[in-house]
Structure 1
Amino acid sequence: MQLLQKFKRGNSKKSQSKGHANYAYTTARVRAMKSKLLPKESYPRLMNMSIDEITRFIEESEYKEDVDELARQYEGVDLIEHALNRNLAETFTKLLSISDGDVNFLIGEKLKKFDIWNIKTILRGKYCNASTEEILDAIVAAGRMSYTFLSDLAAKETYEEVISELANTEYYPILKNYDGTNLSEIENQLDKMYYIGLFEAISGSKSKDRKLFEEFTRMGIDLKNLITLFRLKKSGITDPEVMNLMIDGGLKCKLKETERLMPLSFADFVSELENNPYWDVISDVVKPDMDSLIDVETRLKQHRLKSAASFSHVYPISIVPIMDYMLSKQNEISNLRIIIRGKAANLEDDVIKEQLVI
């Protein structure tokens, strides 16, 4: 297939190779990239700016090339949104280009979540009869799949054509079961496949970097599952069948314990959380009658960032500083997106601030 060949050209043999990796070189480059992230002091300043002023501020930062490139097509909030997506894709593509061997392989495995995100986005678009342009607006080509390949997928008329073009990819065994109605089930299976792939990438290896990568990944699963559990409990969902939304393989939280908590009411769930390994992180913001989960989710995300930064200092020449940077970069873009969307929606500053992860 011509379309699949485009994907394969961007998915070179080098990108899938394992072996020796020059961590000293790669981590030095990554430290330089991290030094260009916006300092914490930037966010209070941005909160006091208009959308036009935020655009000018971003244009004078590391996002200048992205804003300039897209200014002919977009303006205002749309311009910033597209510039952020483009910058994230370019940044993570650069990580692949400056790495080799084992580190390149592990980064590539981590970035597959964007390939899965994009596949889900395209299928959702077809399900909702969205236009190609609308689908492309949500694409973030930060994984192995090139923007050209994804654009061609988005332009297909039907979901059957999309899946057909992915027939020789690792995602096809799941995608072939999509019948046009069971999208949420397919999306859940793809998400689980991502984590299974990460664990397969580190299986059978006793290297320090693979173990650190594993611990980093498992903590992420813990926090993802805990956030999902909070959302389910807050929504009053107690059906044991929703356990299929949980990801197996957490670092400190086992699915058996999560399954025990599932039938509980929100108030009972909260009272049982004192035994949770992450209770100290969220104890002062969790209440049986809490109206919103924003504070809980923000605390857990902050804990993830702090843990990554701490590990990065302990293991400065390893996979950890790279994972730390990837997490910090995504968080920066998320914060910028929260601010610009909040401004566009005329939200109160306090409402915007409580969603920022700083």
Structure 2
Amino acid sequence: MSFEYLNTRLHFMKAKLLGPSDFARYLDMHDLGDLIAALAETDYGPELERNSVEYSGYALVETALMQNVQRVFSKLSSMAFDEAHTLVRILLERFEVFNLKTILRGFHTGTPPGETASSLFPTILYPVSFYQELLKRDGIGAVIDFLLTVGNRYYKPLSERQADYDATHKLAVLESALDSYYFGGSRKVLQTVGDENAVAVRQMLGTEVDLLNLVYALRVVEENVESEEKYRYILDGGERLSKEFIRDLSNSPDKASFFRKFEDTDYAKRVGAFDENVTAGTFQERLEEYFYQVMCRYDPGRTFDIHLASVYIWRKIVEMTDLRVIASGLWRRVPREEIERKMIWVEGVTPERAVPA
């Protein structure tokens, strides 16, 4: 599989990404108008100009960000051919799953649709209007019915678990169904490709499976779940951690025992030690921070494989997320410290933090 053409084009696209000095400047701003003016001089300029008649303020920034990222991801997909196209689509489809999980979570928690919409990612498989229609439904059951109506393939795993969710009202039932369907389907496709780039993508997905399983196992311990049902939601396909190990973790009598077992893993060496009283939420944040660092780390020596496309996708997602956080903070006039707490901090993308976590 040749990535020479794709990566040559990607180097030009990567040069348009924002860098640490840009984010340092944006963080020093005190007015949303200043941020909009600054972004107008970047690759976001065309989207800001096109939408400035209909929108203003934070709505203008949000609309421009969504359209810009959708434009560049569509361009990336169109530049990839044959097996490269297949791998890029697998990487981008992950954000379709993120969006579905976000919408389900919004209905589950009763979050206002507008607030849920502000957490969605741009995608190439479905337009923004598709997710806006989902947010107009009157509940999770109606969302699943709508997916069937439009022929969305994620209707299948959700419909199979809908009765379980209705009986238990546990969101993990639906989230694990989506994740299992995506990861399982992706592994099958990658097996048909079968080369070193497919292996690299499988390793990326397997790492995410490991981290999702670790967080799930700690939540099981934290909530003192004893039912055998807890094993049902452990995901297949982990890169470094077997399902048997995750089962053992979930059977830990307390957090101290959990973290003693966790200390022997490769991930413990990479993310550091944890206090035994740490919450599952904080544990998840630390693991996600590690994951973002790994996915955004650029190796200039890898010029003829899937690496650059993957790094570009994840850096663009981090860029968009952090711009959202800064724009929202300026719009709401919150302290800089609060803005920084909500940002994703990645070496080579954002500057060093000015305040402690």
- For the criterion TM > 0.5, the same-fold answer is yes
162, 183, 190: which is aligned to 2:146? 162
1:328 is displaced (CA, Å) by 1.2
Aligned to 1:23: 3
Structure 2 residue 271 is the aligned partner of structure 1 residue 282: yes
Q: How does 1:60-75 map to 2 (within 5 A)?
A: 60-75=41-56
Q: How does 1:234-313 map to 2 (within 5 A)?
A: 235-239=222-226, 241-264=229-252, 265-283=254-272, 286-290=274-278, 292-293=282-283, 296-297=286-287, 299-305=289-295, 308-310=297-299, 313=300
Instruction: Provide the TM-score with structure 1 as the length reference.
Output: 0.77
1:196 is displaced (CA, Å) by 0.8
Change beyond 3 A, Cα 1:65–1:225: farther
Change beyond 3 A, Cα 1:132–1:347: closer
Change beyond 3 A, Cα 1:356–1:151: closer
Aligned to 1:207: 195
Change beyond 3 A, Cα 1:293–1:218: closer
Aligned to 1:172: 155
String of CA shifts for 1:123-180, please: whole Å, max 9, x gaps. 667778999878766654413224455566666785465134234x433322444469
Instruction: Provide the TM-score with structure 2 as the length reference.
Output: 0.78
SS in 1 for 2:266: coil
Instruction: Give me the whole-angstrom Cα distance separating, in 2, the residues matched to 1:273 and 1:42.
Output: 38
21, 32, 41: which is aligned to 1:41? 21
Instruction: Give me the whole-angstrom Cα distance separating, in 2, the residues matched to 1:141 and 1:249.
Output: 26
Instruction: Give me the whole-angstrom Cα distance separating, in 2, the residues matched to 1:270 and 1:301.
Output: 19
Change beyond 3 A, Cα 1:29–1:206: same
Aligned to 1:12: none
Paired AA for residue 226 in structure 1: L
Paired AA for residue 224 in structure 1: L
Aligned to 2:124: 143
Paired AA for residue 303 in structure 2: P
SS in 1 for 2:344: coil
Instruction: Give me the whole-angstrom Cα distance separating, in 2, the residues matched to 1:220 and 1:122.
Output: 20
> Is the CA contact 1:82–1:137 (under 8 Å) kept in the aligned structure 2?
no
1:193 is displaced (CA, Å) by 0.6
175, 186, 197: which is aligned to 1:198? 186
String of CA shifts for 1:61-110, please: whole Å, max 9, x gaps. 22112222333333333332332222222221111111111111121222
Instruction: Give me the whole-angstrom Cα distance separating, in 1, the residues matched to 2:114 and 2:325.
Output: 23
Identity %: 20
Change beyond 3 A, Cα 1:270–1:160: closer
1:26 is displaced (CA, Å) by 0.5
> Is the CA contact 1:67–1:79 (under 8 Å) kept in the aligned structure 2?
yes
> Is the CA contact 1:342–1:352 (under 8 Å) kept in the aligned structure 2?
yes
Aligned residues: 332
1:216 is displaced (CA, Å) by 2.2
Paired AA for residue 215 in structure 1: Q
Paired AA for residue 123 in structure 2: A
> Is the CA contact 2:215–2:284 (under 8 Å) kept in the aligned structure 1?
no
> Is the CA contact 1:70–1:82 (under 8 Å) kept in the aligned structure 2?
yes
Aligned to 2:353: none
294, 299, 324: which is aligned to 2:311? 324
Change beyond 3 A, Cα 1:165–1:131: farther
Q: Which range moved further: 147-156 or 191-200? A: 147-156
Change beyond 3 A, Cα 1:280–1:155: closer
Listed as ranges, the gaps of 5+ residues in structure 2 are 347-357
Change beyond 3 A, Cα 1:48–1:139: closer
Aligned to 1:85: 66
String of CA shifts for 1:24-67, please: whole Å, max 9, x gaps. 11111112111211112222322221241222222222211222
Instruction: Give me the whole-angstrom Cα distance separating, in 2, the residues matched to 1:100 and 1:122.
Output: 32
Instruction: Give me the whole-angstrom Cα distance separating, in 1, the residues matched to 2:324 and 2:182.
Output: 25
Paired AA for residue 271 in structure 2: I
Change beyond 3 A, Cα 1:270–1:24: same
Listed as ranges, the gaps of 5+ residues in structure 1 are 1-20
Instruction: Give me the whole-angstrom Cα distance separating, in 2, the residues matched to 1:74 and 1:102.
Output: 40
1:190 is displaced (CA, Å) by 1.6
Q: What RMSD in Å do the two structures reach over aligned CA positions?
A: 3.4
1:114 is displaced (CA, Å) by 3.2
SS in 2 for 1:41: helix
Instruction: Give me the whole-angstrom Cα distance separating, in 1, the residues matched to 2:283 and 2:49.
Output: 37
Change beyond 3 A, Cα 1:176–1:224: closer
Instruction: Give me the whole-angstrom Cα distance separating, in 1, the residues matched to 2:278 and 2:159.
Output: 42
SS in 1 for 2:91: helix
> Is the CA contact 1:175–1:186 (under 8 Å) kept in the aligned structure 2?
yes
Structure 2 residue 311 is the aligned partner of structure 1 residue 338: no
